[in-house]
Amino acid sequence: MYHLPASVTQGSTWAGLMEAMSRSVLPSAVALVIPETYQRQLLWAVARYWLCEDHTYCGHCLSCMAWSDDGHPDVLVAGNDGPPSVDVCRKLADDVHLSPVASSRRIAAVLWADKMNLNAANSMLKIAEEPPSHGHVFFLMEEDRLIPTLRSRSWFFRFPQEELIEALPVPDGEAAWLAWIARAGQKVQAVDLLAELRGMEMSLASQGLLKEAAGLSQLIFLAGRAHLPATMIADLAYLLIKEDYPFEHISDHFR
């Protein structure tokens, strides 16, 4: 759940974020700009420090011990399956007012915040303006884009995509693909494989193979939303790129 690649945790943005938390100066509304591939992992990683009693993720306080594979009772998430609706956002804003369960704080997190419709975004304005004393709102987004009223109330931390994603070569030939699939299927964290596919997507786009790059981008989105295992992601990438299998036929199976 907490795994983040070194390209994220060794950068200046992460260092600034850690410093702000160590000094307890994180504001009530925070915007984290990072590729969708990393949004959930970044949320869990930041939350484990911010909810800890001394902001170190000590592992011993009540809040740290409350973490499980399902998350944390004081981390409320909207947008697990795509941009959240206005009703989901309103419920999130209501729930963050409830008393914390295991920490002294509660986090209301909005994934896909840059893709919320206007009504959903406006429903978050009041909680960003007047949060409860224990409440914080985290907006996670791939593009640096929020409505002006939310933007003016948020502190932005930007993880530049060009620093996180390196163009990677696409396997050439059947043998290379089979070797890649075998290696990719062994990855414990699917996020590592999705990051690698982002690199392949960049490489394909730079070669003018826009159809293949677009298909891979759609697969990355689908894999993150549906929490697909690494073995399945690797097989689907092979079908898309090597076998030129239409993405529409793949997506039909997940509706």
Asked if residue 248 and residue 189 are part of one domain, the reply reads: yes
- Statement to judge: residues 53 and 21 lie in one domain: yes
Tell which residue, 185, 220, 230, 172, has the closest CA to residue 199. 220
Note whether 190 and 37 are within 8 A (CB): no
| CATH code of the domain containing 107 | 3.40.50.300
Residue 68 belongs to a domain: yes
Domain that holds residue 224: 174-254
Are 17 and 132 part of one and the same domain? yes
Strands (E), 196-246: none
Q: How far apart are CA 83 and CA 80, in angstroms?
A: 8
Residues 38 and 110 occupy one common structural domain: yes
Tens-binned pLDDT, residue by residue, of the chain (255 aa): 456 777 788 888 999 999 999 998 888 999 999 988 788 889 999 999 999 999 999 999 999 999 998 899 999 999 988 899 999 999 999 999 999 999 999 999 999 999 999 999 999 999 998 889 999 999 999 888 899 999 999 999 998 766 666 678 999 999 999 999 998 877 666 777 888 888 898 888 888 888 888 888 888 888 877 778 888 999 999 999 999 888 888 877 766
146 and 179 belong to one structural domain: no
Same domain for 211 and 104, yes or no, is no
Per the structure, the count of domains in the chain is 2
Element (DSSP H or E) covering residue 31: strand 29-33
CB 33 within 8 A of CB 158: yes
Predicted pLDDT of residue 162: 61
> Which pLDDT score, from 0 to 100, does residue 255 have?
61
Q: Please write the tens of the pLDDT for every residue from 131-142.
A: 899 999 999 998
Reading the block at residue 29, the tokens are 């509304």
pLDDT of 210 reads 83
In 3-state terms, the chain is what percent helix, strand and coil (to 5)? 50, 10, 40
Query: Are the C-beta atoms of 89 and 139 separated by less than 8 Å?
Result: no
**Statement to judge: residues 47 and 160 lie in one domain:** yes
Residue 40 CB contacts under 8 Å (≥ 6 apart), including other chains: 111, 224
For residues 137 and 182, membership in a common domain is answered with no
Q: Establish if 98 belongs to a structural domain.
A: yes
Residue 38: per-residue pLDDT: 83
Among 141, 164, 187, identify where a domain stops.
164
Asked which of 164, 196, 214 is the last residue of a domain, the reply is: 164
Residue 243: both structure tokens together: 């076998």
From the number of C-beta atoms within 10 Å of its C-beta (0-12, 13-18, 19+), residue 70 rates as exposed
Kindly state whether residues 130 and 197 are assigned to the same domain: no
The overall pTM is greater than 0.85: no
Which of 133, 164, 195 is where one domain is finished? 164
CA distances from 37 to 97, 128, 222 (A): 29, 25, 11
Tell whether 169 is covered by a domain: no
Residue 1: the pLDDT is 47
Is 144 contained in some domain? yes
Domain annotation covers residue 1 = no
Q: What is the largest CA-CA distance in the chain?
A: 58
- Same domain for 119 and 225, yes or no, is no
| H/E stretch holding 108 | strand 106-110
- Taken as a whole, the chain contains a residue count of 255
Say which residue the tokens 């390209």 belong to.
7
Same domain, 63 and 160: yes
pLDDT at 165: 67
